[in-house]
Chain A
Amino acid sequence: MTVEGTAARSTTRRSGGTGKRASAARKKKTATSATAEPELVQLLTPQGERVEHPDYAIDPTPEELRGLYRDMMLTRRFDAEATALQRQGELGLWASLLGQEAAQIGSARALHDDDYVFPTYREHGVAWVRGVDPTNLLGMFRGVNHGGWDPNSNNFHLYTIVIGSQTLHATGYAMGVAKDGADSAVVAYFGDGASSQGDVAEAFTFAAVYNAPVVFFCQNNQWAISEPAERQSRVPIYQRAAGFGFPGVRVDGNDVLACLAVTKAAVERARSGQGPMLVEAFTYRMGAHTTSDDPTKYRRDEEREAWEAKDPILRLRTLLEKEKLADKAFLDAVDEESDALAKRVRDAVRTMPNPDTMAIFEHVYADGHALVDEERAQYAEYLASFEPEEAK
């Protein structure tokens, strides 16, 4: 998926490289740079070893562990298929989640059905866990709609393209949850780039001031298209929460158990009326930002290789095998299921009908609008003017 490095690429890096060198120097000076790895909650090492954390204990059953593995495998396979479909011209664009499976599956598995999720546009794993049919995620990328699912049937809002906008919607929704006296929580997903947006800062302010039951789940995948995380913040993102008056924690975003445990704690905290929390999942986007992007222009192969060694799925598989929690039959069954899902997705995309022309005019307003009615009628008349000729 990622184009391998070339000499030309390293030239690019050198010519545009003052930022790189300067940032390396900054890193030395600043103890807590945005990309350092301090205080990372980890429960499963890259070698597949379980480790303890004093604040975030978790004891998943073997079945739950297998479930997490299955979720991550299916999500990765779905994602790979979508990327392939884009390459085949079936999708206009795809935003791959490759590498972020643990952050998404772990966090989403911490939620109850009545919790509400406000995603950005890369939360395919979260959507999977929420029960949104993966084929529904592809409509907007194929260009047949701007959404594709009913947000209320899975408590999973539509993807949001404008960066960070949804963190305010989540906060407002959470304010409503609190007014209702309900004990559900709301989760806003966003990325490291979005953390620079004013809307995210305003969401933090509102959430803190109104003690809203919202969890801000930031997937710091290190890159906002070509801008590194250190261009977004001079302190680790999770530390920003302190300035707003609520806790922030950094979790190993490639550790599904840690993501599950920390999100569970954050969501419980919100549900019990203790207000918002920021979770920064320190992870890595292994693919491109979207299929339109070329990461070889701005990042080094070694970086990706270092992160590949921390692959979220591999480490859980190592644990499952080492502790004999999954046999070959199970692993094979997941592989088969993955292939079946990929085929289903492929077939669904290729047979996805184009929307009816008149859909342009549908749902612009809930209560109708005279201008839309007029234009709809005019355009219908225009289209109808071709029909007699065709009939002949």
Chain B
Amino acid sequence: MAATKMPLAKALNESLRKAMEDNPKVLVMGEDVGKLGGVFRITDGLQKDFGEDRVIDTPLAESGIIGTAIGLALRGYRPVAEIQFDGFVFPAYDQIVTQLAKMHARALGKVKVPVVIRIPYAGGIGAVEHHSESPEALFAHVAGLKCVSPSNSSDAYWMMQQAIESDDPVIFFEPKRRYWDKGEVDTAAIPGPLHTARVARQGGDLTLAAYGPMVKTCLEAATAAADEGRSLEVVDLRSMSPIDFDTLQRSVEKTGRLVVVHEAPVFLGTGSEIAARITERCFYHLEAPVLRVGGFHAPYPPARLEDEYLPGLDRVLDAVDRALAY
């Protein structure tokens, strides 16, 4: 068997390595990705094995990283660009939104820009300002971009390679506080489609929908709720653009209740879109309004307060209680 247990970070590293071996056009680029192997060591050892020409240490200029990645993609390469931390993506936001997202459409399909942008995102590691943000809704809102986030090692391994194979730009959100969580990776498995949601735990009373770092929290909440005699289903969305509403709809039609959980601010967030669409699709199946649990409409707080800001077991279970009380 090809299945081995490895941390999510290692799975990403192995995935990048495999993609580079399979396709000489795949490049890795970003700040500190070469000798250091990235600040989280996701690209560890790649430059040693693939050379400076394919694992490119860049100047400290995010717009430059994405802008040149676009040019490299136009030349036929498949760049995987690392943005060091979530809060540093904004200098590149213009290139991503005005250029990368639109170029295929503007060229009426005549050019492709298969750029993957890796962003270690979200909180929970006690970092300083700008190192713990969840900007996924800002990207999912933009037509032309696809946004995904793995929640475990296996998905990290497979989704990264699928993102690189995609001819579309993919923003790949890596849940940094789960980097060190170990999980099974079957390198010989046949993975499901990149944008398909996964039912991570079966249940009948209520659906918890999450992605990235919150999947683990929701699974823990489901375990705790089971002790109280409640059967929660957990859906790992895996993709925030597009969102697999069909899988979610099936779950909600079964359970009649939905709580969406993410770290990003609730206001105008991914959960808002999910609540609206599931309400449209499942209005007659719903026993309660779709509830959302997430961050506040406030800047991400200093590290000593992030446990209050981030949805934990209690806040998830409180929402479950409220939904079940209808």
List residues of chain A with CB under 8 Å of any chain B CB.
118, 145-147, 150-152, 157-158, 160, 162, 165, 167-177, 179-180, 198-199, 202-203, 205-206, 209, 362-367, 369-372
Contacts and interface: CB of A to CB of B under 8 A. Distances in A.
Interface string B298-312: 000000000000000
A165 B94 contact: yes
Contacts of B114: 366
A28 B150 CA distance: 61
Contacts of A151: 74, 107, 110-111
A367 B67 contact: no
Contact of B71 (A146, A176, A372): A176
B74 A365 contact: no
B144 interface: yes
B70 interface: yes
B71 A168 contact: yes
Given A146-B102, A205-B59, A364-B143, A371 B241 contact: yes
Given A173-B75, A371-B241, A365 B95 contact: no
Interface in B150-205: 166-168, 195
Interface string B69-112: 11111111100000000000001001100110011111111111
Interface of B: 53, 58-59, 61, 63-64, 66-77, 91, 94-95, 98-99, 102-112, 114, 143-144, 146, 166-168, 195, 241-245
A194 B69 CA distance: 20
A177 B77 CA distance: 10
A162 B63 CA distance: 13
Contacts of A145: 106, 108
B167 A366 contact: yes
A165 B99 CA distance: 8
Given A169-B99, A171-B71, 17 more contacts: A146-B105, A146-B106, A147-B107, A157-B74, A160-B99, A165-B95, A171-B68, A173-B71, A176-B75, A199-B95, A363-B105, A363-B109, A366-B166, A366-B168, A367-B167, A370-B243, A371-B243
Contacts of A167: 67
Contacts of B107: 147, 150-151, 158, 363
Contacts of A118: 71
Nearest to A370: B242
B35 to A, nearest CB: 16
A202 B72 contact: no
A199 B112 CA distance: 22
A301 to B, nearest CB: 36
A308 to B, nearest CB: 36
Contacts of B168: 365-367, 369
